[in-house]
Chain A
Amino acid sequence: MKPPRFEYARPESLEEAVALLAEGEDAKVLAGGQSLVPALNMRLLRPSLLVDLGRVRGLDRIEARNSSVAVGARVTQRAFAESPLVPPLAAEALPHVGHYVTRNRGTVGGSIAHADAAAELSLCLVVLGGSVVTNRRTIPAEEFFVGHFTTALEPGELVVETLWPRLDGWRFAFEEFAQRRGDYGLSLVAVALRLEDGVVAESRLGLASVTDRPTLVADAEAVESLELWGNLHASPDYLRNLTRILVARAVARAAA
């Protein structure tokens, strides 16, 4: 479990980081390293260059901006969780992200850019209708996630920050089922609702882990027609049942 040889650079500015990324086609960005470093050690990834964002200024801020919260790419999951600006949905989801010690180092931008299909933060960003700001453009979250470990990022493009709409007046709930605390969830559900006179006026319902990317669905019925793949821990039938139950729980809790 030792990585193959790679070059390592630690730029001080975003411009420098982007320039380095443009140099090496198979360069990888290192932020908290909680997913990347194990993948290197297991030789699942073999980048020729690691660009460490650790010293890039300005990527560790959380600030209110218009009706959203802007979260710098290098903000740790723990700092996000403890920020007074953390969106309620993300606050619910963050305790499920890995473990306390991994959240100390794992970053919000890293989790989003890694695009694991079972990632809690990706699902929350999609359900809130957020977006990903790169060095070139702003990409709506729904378009950012393309598949498991796959994003719309192009070569030389770097996540700078994520924008989390506050959705004032909405209600939220996040549900996850994992076999052990901190495991990748077998199924993840997040919901945002806006009620008018006790009736749902608007809703956004999202699923993850059972789909290859965080996915918005129209309603609970959509679960019935999902194409599901079983895994070592769960059959497709079980996953469908689980998702059905988590949707019901999330919706009930958000509406309560």
Chain B
Amino acid sequence: MSVGTERETWVGQAVLRLEDEALLRGEGRFIDDLDPVPNAYHAAILRSPFAHARIRSIDASAALELPGVVGVLTGAEVAAMSHPFPVGVENAPASYCCASELTRYYGEPVALAVARDRYVAEDAVELISVDWEPLAAVVDAVTAAETDALVSDRSFSYGDVDTAFASADVVVADRFRFPRWSCNPLECYGVVADWTGDSLTAWANFQGPFTLHSVAAAALGLPGSKLRLITPPDSGGSFGTKAAVYTYVVLMALASKKLGVPVRWTEDRLEHLAAAGSATARVTDLAAAFAADGELLALRYDVIEDVGAYVRAPEPATLYRMHGSLSGAYRVRNVAVRNRVVVTNRPPTSLNRGFGGPQMYFALERTMEIAAGRLGIDPAELRRRNLVRDFPHRTPSGGLYDSGDYEACLDDALELARYEERRAEQAAAREEGRLVGIGVACVVEPSISNMGYITLAQTSDERTAQLPKSGNAEGATIAINPIGGVTVRISTTPQGQGHRTAAAQVAADALGVAPEQIDVLTDVDTSTSAWTVASGNYSSRFSGVGAGAVHKAATKLATKLRAIAAPQLGAEPDEVELRDGKAWANDESVSLRRLAGAAHWNPDSLPRGVEPGLHETAFDAAPNLEPPDADDRVASSAAHGFLADVAVVEVERDTGAVRVLEYVTVHDAGRLLNPLLVEGQVRGGFAHGAGVALFERIVHDDEGNLLTGTFMDYLCPTAPDLPPLTMGHRETPSPFTTLGSKGLGEGTTMSAPVAIANAVADALGVQALEVPLTPGRVWELLR
């Protein structure tokens, strides 16, 4: 309706966030604000103080004597009451929501106390005594890969990689390490579980994917309809990590079942820093073959992925999310990769913004920078020569890039950064002994994940034996009540991105009303919402299929409204236009409210063939997301944005402090639904990426003890620590999404770590470096 008409659309406008007034007034409704069942008791968790230990015995008798304590649940009971979580890798150790005989990471739950309040619950936890037998821990991923901690080992080759390397003029090879880092949303995990009869109702600030609803149900042995999962209207950020809250849904459910009371638990920051889902740590050996003119001929990856103590669903997805994009933004035809997944005595990993992108691009874009030096070609120019130009573009590993103008984005970025001038300034600064560096990164940002890509962890034969998995669908519902109120309900569990605003804009265009006249409900209830396995908030899928579902539902409703209005206006339905809250034809109009009133109060008046009711549900699904083929090719995502970044840094020689003087990021994410929300997403993505570039990492010592257990040692960047950011945008619509839009909230998280690292390497004239580039580390590089 909105596309192709002369009328200006709400989509594309910088509509102010409809969410903000309530949030600014402190009227948001987060998990801790909900009191969904009376008399819920509070849980506290006893966590392992060892990375690897045998639990000889647990004695909870003292805890049970404490006044106010309702009961205790131990790992042994959890093992008896539940099943291991289903997992996509065969050799992985069985994983429950709580350790029973063996604890495999520092911070792993081993028991839980439930009491009248959290204070007493924590007192009770201290009174549970455990007889531990500490065991040797494995923390290093490379070491783990040589042992039975290697749980998956798959090799893939596309094109003729060996021949390409044999014919290369220049081969660049290096090892790149990427650290574990995390999301640290303001609000940590929260769960309320109420087990009654044979069914569970759980409230949790879960973010999807709702595949994990099935995982939780399987662990609890519940048939589908018996696990009702409800998310609160507001979430205090997630950035991926709240996918992992499902293990605590299971834990609290078991406590509620055993003790016969509703149980609530709010994770505190110490728990979060110790044991919440974080990114994988990755070691990548990457070799790249080039012709003398800079043509990238082949890439050969050898990856070791540390997923922590267990392979927790959806892992090892971090490894395969980028599978269709192993060639990055380049036309290279020959790509090989060996993917090894190892378990270590560190907490299980989960989603983190960028999901595999930061790790992969750190290796690829460092390699491009190093190769530029070896080839004697400017790093930006080397990339330009290899950028994908024609669309749609099928990558060697099966990715299908939809659209974009990569070269124009790179040009924009170089212009915004005054690249040539900067190079001259850099030369002058070096004359003065100052360490100035410039780094570039070009990144293809996939969005809307193919639910089937994860099955690449299995062989083609193993996949054939199962139900194929593919696609990525999302649902939405829209309704008009008898007094003309429009309500949209979405299943994308927003965590602060502004889905409410964007969904209202999309529906407003279809119905011809203003966005603020539309109520958008964001709480998901698996018993009443329009959802599917793919639902939720990950892989930047909202602007593609989330908004697409709203558009489709609203269009269905608009079609119906036109059909109802047509006879009243003496027109055909397709002559009726919806605008300004009315249906128009032949210069006559009838208000939406009147149309709705008639539909509800006088269904007898509806034109022949029009079904009563103004309540429509629609699902949108991205095309081309087939299951992996027999040759292990997969279109791992539906849409692909592109971004070109330039970082300019100065390193203080005395202290090793890195100052980012300027950071430019230019995106082509298709049609932008709301530039204001876009800016928020890019700024946030940059902060997350700059965090790991300069500050953030999770550190365990050789015994697996946590060294970054508080915000004193786990350093998140704060606003004053972030460098200035310059943004640019191009809008090449995606032919594969309903509204032409693509995801863009993760791109700068993928690019910033390596762009900044490239700039620091350039400033120092060194090749080997690791993020975060803390002053101490940089100073060591300067020595």
Q: Are B720 and A242 in contact (CB under 8 A)?
A: no
For A234, the chain B residues whose CB sits under 8 A away are: 775-776
Q: Are A232 and B708 in contact (CB under 8 A)?
A: yes
Q: Which of A62-70, A107-115, A173-181, A208-216 contacts B (4 or more CB under 8 A)?
A: A173-181
From 702 to 743 in chain B, residues with beta carbon under 8 angstroms from any chain A beta carbon are 707-708, 710, 712-713, 715, 717-718, 720-721
- For the complex formed, measure the closest distance between the CB of B66 and the CB atoms of chain A, giving whole angstroms: 11
For B774, the chain A residues whose CB sits under 8 A away are: 179, 233
Q: Is A238 an interface residue (CB 8 A)?
A: yes
Q: Is B655 an interface residue (CB 8 A)?
A: yes
Assuming the A-B contacts A179-B775, A245-B654, are A238 and B717 also in contact, with contact meaning beta carbons closer than 8 angstroms in the complex?
no
- For the complex formed, measure the closest distance between the CB of B120 and the CB atoms of chain A, giving whole angstroms: 9
Assuming the A-B contacts A233-B776, A245-B654, are A5 and B715 also in contact, with contact meaning beta carbons closer than 8 angstroms in the complex?
no
Measured CB to CB, the nearest residue on chain A to B269 is A1
Kindly identify which residue among A42, A43, A235, A245 contacts B655, using a CB–CB cutoff of 8 Å. A245
Chain A contact surface mostly? loop
Q: Are B119 and A179 in contact (CB under 8 A)?
A: no
Q: Is B122 an interface residue (CB 8 A)?
A: yes
Size bin of chain B's contact surface: 20 to 34
- For the complex formed, measure the closest distance between the CB of A103 and the CB atoms of chain B, giving whole angstroms: 15
Q: Is B123 an interface residue (CB 8 A)?
A: yes
Kindly identify which residue among B123, B268, B707 contacts A232, using a CB–CB cutoff of 8 Å. B707
The CA-CA distance from A5 to B720 in the complex, in Å, is 38
Assuming the A-B contacts A235-B776, A245-B654, are A180 and B695 also in contact, with contact meaning beta carbons closer than 8 angstroms in the complex?
yes
The CA-CA distance from A174 to B780 in the complex, in Å, is 25
Q: Are B123 and A238 in contact (CB under 8 A)?
A: no
The CA-CA distance from A20 to B253 in the complex, in Å, is 46
Q: Are B712 and A184 in contact (CB under 8 A)?
A: yes
For A235, the chain B residues whose CB sits under 8 A away are: 776, 780
Q: Is B766 an interface residue (CB 8 A)?
A: no
- For the complex formed, measure the closest distance between the CB of A104 and the CB atoms of chain B, giving whole angstroms: 17
- For the complex formed, measure the closest distance between the CB of B119 and the CB atoms of chain A, giving whole angstroms: 4
Residue numbers of B with Cβ under 8 A of A are 118-119, 122-123, 126, 268-270, 654-657, 695, 699, 707-708, 710, 712-713, 715, 717-718, 720-721, 774-776, 779-780
- For the complex formed, measure the closest distance between the CB of A149 and the CB atoms of chain B, giving whole angstroms: 14
Measured CB to CB, the nearest residue on chain A to B719 is A181
The CA-CA distance from A131 to B401 in the complex, in Å, is 70
From 171 to 222 in chain A, residues with beta carbon under 8 angstroms from any chain B beta carbon are 177, 179-184, 186
Chain B contact surface mostly? loop
Q: Is A48 an interface residue (CB 8 A)?
A: no
The CA-CA distance from A1 to B720 in the complex, in Å, is 28
Which of A3, A184, A238 has the largest count of B CB atoms less than 10 A from its CB? A238
Q: Is A241 an interface residue (CB 8 A)?
A: yes
For B118, the chain A residues whose CB sits under 8 A away are: 2
Between A and B, 24 residue pairs with Cβ closer than 8 Å are A1-B268, A2-B122, A4-B122, A5-B119, A43-B126, A177-B655, A179-B695, A179-B715, A179-B774, A179-B775, A180-B715, A180-B717, A181-B720, A184-B712, A186-B776, A232-B707, A232-B708, A233-B713, A233-B774, A233-B776, A235-B780, A238-B775, A238-B779, A242-B655
- For the complex formed, measure the closest distance between the CB of A5 and the CB atoms of chain B, giving whole angstroms: 7
Measured CB to CB, the nearest residue on chain A to B656 is A238
Q: Are A180 and B718 in contact (CB under 8 A)?
A: yes
The CA-CA distance from A247 to B707 in the complex, in Å, is 30
- For the complex formed, measure the closest distance between the CB of A11 and the CB atoms of chain B, giving whole angstroms: 25
Q: Are B776 and A42 in contact (CB under 8 A)?
A: no
For A232, the chain B residues whose CB sits under 8 A away are: 699, 707-708, 713
Q: Are B268 and A183 in contact (CB under 8 A)?
A: no
Kindly identify which residue among B123, B654, B707 contacts A5, using a CB–CB cutoff of 8 Å. B123
For B710, the chain A residues whose CB sits under 8 A away are: 42
The CA-CA distance from A42 to B695 in the complex, in Å, is 24
For B721, the chain A residues whose CB sits under 8 A away are: 180-181
The CA-CA distance from A3 to B122 in the complex, in Å, is 9
For A186, the chain B residues whose CB sits under 8 A away are: 775-776
The CA-CA distance from A184 to B707 in the complex, in Å, is 16
The CA-CA distance from A107 to B680 in the complex, in Å, is 37
The 10 closest A-B pairs by CB, nearest first: A1-B268, A234-B776, A2-B119, A238-B776, A245-B654, A180-B721, A181-B720, A2-B122, A2-B118, A232-B707
Measured CB to CB, the nearest residue on chain A to B701 is A232
Q: Are A181 and B718 in contact (CB under 8 A)?
A: yes
Measured CB to CB, the nearest residue on chain B to A231 is B713
Which of A3, A42, A180, A232 has the largest count of B CB atoms less than 10 A from its CB? A232
Kindly identify which residue among B713, B718, B720, B780 contacts A238, using a CB–CB cutoff of 8 Å. B780
- For the complex formed, measure the closest distance between the CB of A234 and the CB atoms of chain B, giving whole angstroms: 4
For B717, the chain A residues whose CB sits under 8 A away are: 180
- For the complex formed, measure the closest distance between the CB of B690 and the CB atoms of chain A, giving whole angstroms: 12
For B123, the chain A residues whose CB sits under 8 A away are: 4-5
The CA-CA distance from A233 to B123 in the complex, in Å, is 33
From 1 to 15 in chain A, residues with beta carbon under 8 angstroms from any chain B beta carbon are 1-5
- For the complex formed, measure the closest distance between the CB of A150 and the CB atoms of chain B, giving whole angstroms: 19
The CA-CA distance from A55 to B372 in the complex, in Å, is 68
Instruction: Taking A238-B776, A238-B779 as given, write out 18 further A-B residue pairs in contact, using a Cβ cutoff of 8 Å, ordered by the A residue number.
Output: A3-B119, A4-B126, A43-B122, A177-B655, A177-B775, A179-B715, A180-B717, A180-B721, A182-B718, A183-B715, A184-B712, A186-B776, A232-B708, A233-B713, A234-B775, A238-B780, A241-B655, A245-B654
